[in-house]
């Protein structure tokens, strides 16, 4: 049965181009359960795709250009596939071009152009990977439309290769120095499953969230930030300074990532590291251990333990990585007072956006109502609260 989102994409395409679409593709958003800012440090992450996402409807055209509409933005976008510019107006346009660029870099010139309409229900700038959802949906759309000359039949190795290509597009074309977590999660998701990923070895595992699983409740602070404004890249640079210190001490062959440093080594070098870098590193290294423990909690079916680890992760993000905000703290405090709460944390890059909360499934509605009440009373902002489920990864429709 068509979803409201796919119907919205179909309708937007027909309105914009006067035709029925011949190709549809979708990709979910994602929430990070554990592993905050660990991915670009070669660390461990635990995430799940969610049933909020992006659908793209359209068709191939003979002209070598992209013609794109988005239901979320008023202005259409049109560009030459052979003359891509990084300073495209609006973030969504940069991401569209970035996908075209990275697929072209991998596979060569496109065999034609495309028309597409985009519809999505992932909150923008909220730490739920709306950008990776757009990237993956567009990549699947382009593969299915046949303009890349490559197959759209993706097994897991092909999905990993695509995730790395999309990460490259975000890093090199868009200019956001993200890790692999977002693209991996939206491509590898499965209903009812969490995903663990070792970002150094790229080994991964799908883990059941339980039967029945706890609810994943996403609370949107209704505040936003832009990744490209420098804060995300600044944190990455702070981590890289610590890596450089240990490379000078142990050699570049021994230390490629912050992951290659142990907590014991960090403690031994504490007084010789700058005061900012050492606490950033402490967060990353302790977060890797929380991911290990979170995987064991899932294997044991211990949702309460996973919730405690998520709350510990949030405290570390707030105190050592300094990527929380007063609004996110108010959301967490509101959640702590709500029924059924097992644990929660900020989601994604931080500084604004959403928290992700693990909640007893039978109390999810009461939890959502309580958070809305407490947060609105304290901030005069009505938060969006989404009761979500783990969802399948990107696919054609």
Tell me what the mean pLDDT of segment 288-299 comes to. 98
Catalytic residue chosen out of the listed positions 51, 77, 121, 182: 182
Q: What is the mean pLDDT of the chain?
A: 94
Check: pTM over 0.85? Answer yes or no.
Answer: yes
Give the per-residue pLDDT at 227: 52
Q: Is residue 261 part of a domain?
A: no
Find the domain containing 120 and state its range.
Answer: 4-209
94 within domain boundaries: yes
Angstrom distance (rounded) from CA 156 to CA 362: 34
Q: Which CATH number belongs to the domain containing residue 157 in this structure?
A: 3.30.230.10
Contact 57, 68 (CB under 8 A): no
- Whether 182 is a known active-site residue: answer yes
Report if residue 156 sits inside a domain: yes
In a domain? residue 182 = yes
pLDDT at position 332 over 60: yes
pLDDT of residue 226: 61
pLDDT in tens, 196-246: 999 999 999 999 999 899 999 999 999 876 654 588 889 999 999 999 999
b/e for 6-38, b at 16 or more Cβ within 10 A?
bebbbebbeebbeeebebbbbbbbbbbbbbbbb
The mean per-residue pLDDT over the stretch 265-290 comes to 98
What are the angstrom distances between the C-alpha of 136 and each of 1, 79, 168, 397?
22, 20, 13, 13
Q: What is the pLDDT of residues 42-63, one digit of tens each?
A: 999 999 999 999 999 999 999 9
In a domain? residue 135: yes
pLDDT in tens, 348-397: 889 998 999 999 999 999 999 999 999 999 999 999 999 999 999 999 98
Q: Residue 76 domain-assigned?
A: yes
The verdict on residue 63 lying in a domain is: yes
Calculate mean pLDDT across residues 295-313: 98
Determine phi and psi for 211, rounding to 5 degrees: -140, 100
**Mean local confidence (pLDDT), 262-282:** 97
How many domains does the chain fold into? 1
Q: Name the residue with tokens 């989601």.
A: 347
* Residue 221 belongs to a domain: no
- Give the model's pLDDT for residue 152: 77
Write out 220-263 in H/E/C secondary structure: ECCCCCCHHHCHHHHHHHHHHHHHHHHHHHHCCCCCCCHHHCCH
């Amino acid at each position: 049965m068509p979803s409201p989102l796919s119907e919205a994409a179909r309708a937007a395409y027909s309105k914009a181009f006067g035709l029925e679409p011949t190709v549809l593709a979708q990709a979910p958003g994602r929430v990070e359960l554990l592993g905050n800012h660990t991915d670009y440090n070669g660390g461990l992450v635990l995430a799940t795709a969610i049933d909020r996402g992006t659908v793209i409807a359209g068709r191939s055209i003979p002209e070598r250009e992209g013609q794109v509409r988005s239901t979320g933005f008023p202005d259409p976008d049109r560009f030459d596939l052979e003359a891509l510019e990084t300073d495209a107006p609006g973030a969504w346009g940069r991401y569209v071009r970035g996908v075209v660029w990275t697929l072209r870099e991998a596979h060569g010139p496109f065999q034609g152009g495309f028309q597409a309409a985009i519809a999505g229900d992932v909150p923008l700038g909220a730490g739920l990977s709306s950008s990776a959802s757009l990237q993956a949906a567009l990549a699947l759309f382009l593969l299915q439309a046949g303009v890349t000359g490559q197959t759209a039949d993706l097994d897991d190795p092909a999905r990993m290769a695509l995730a790395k290509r999309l990460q490259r597009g975000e890093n090199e074309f868009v200019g956001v120095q993200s890790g692999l977590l977002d693209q991996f999660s939206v491509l590898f998701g499965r209903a009812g499953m969490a995903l663990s990923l070792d970002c150094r070895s790229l080994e991964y595992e799908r883990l059941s969230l339980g039967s029945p699983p706890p609810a994943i409740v996403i609370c949107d602070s209704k505040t936003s930030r832009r990744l490209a404004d420098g804060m995300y890249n600044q944190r990455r640079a702070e981590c890289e300074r610590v890596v450089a210190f240990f490379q000078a001490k142990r050699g570049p062959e021994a230390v490629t990532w912050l992951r290659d440093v142990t907590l014991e080594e960090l403690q031994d070098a504490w007084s010789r590291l700058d005061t900012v870098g050492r606490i950033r590193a402490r967060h990353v290294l302790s977060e890797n251990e929380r991911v290990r423990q979170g995987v064991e909690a899932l294997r044991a079916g211990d949702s309460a333990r996973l919730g405690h680890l998520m709350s510990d992760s949030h405290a570390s993000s707030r105190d050592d990585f300094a990527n929380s905000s007063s609004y996110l703290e108010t959301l967490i405090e509101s959640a702590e007072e709500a029924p059924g709460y097992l644990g929660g944390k900020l989601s994604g890059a931080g500084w604004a956006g959403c928290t992700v909360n693990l909640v007893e499934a039978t109390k999810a509605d009461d939890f959502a109502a309580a958070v809305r009440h407490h947060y609105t009373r304290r901030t005069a902002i009505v938060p969006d609260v989404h009761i979500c489920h783990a969802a399948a990864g990107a696919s054609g429709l």
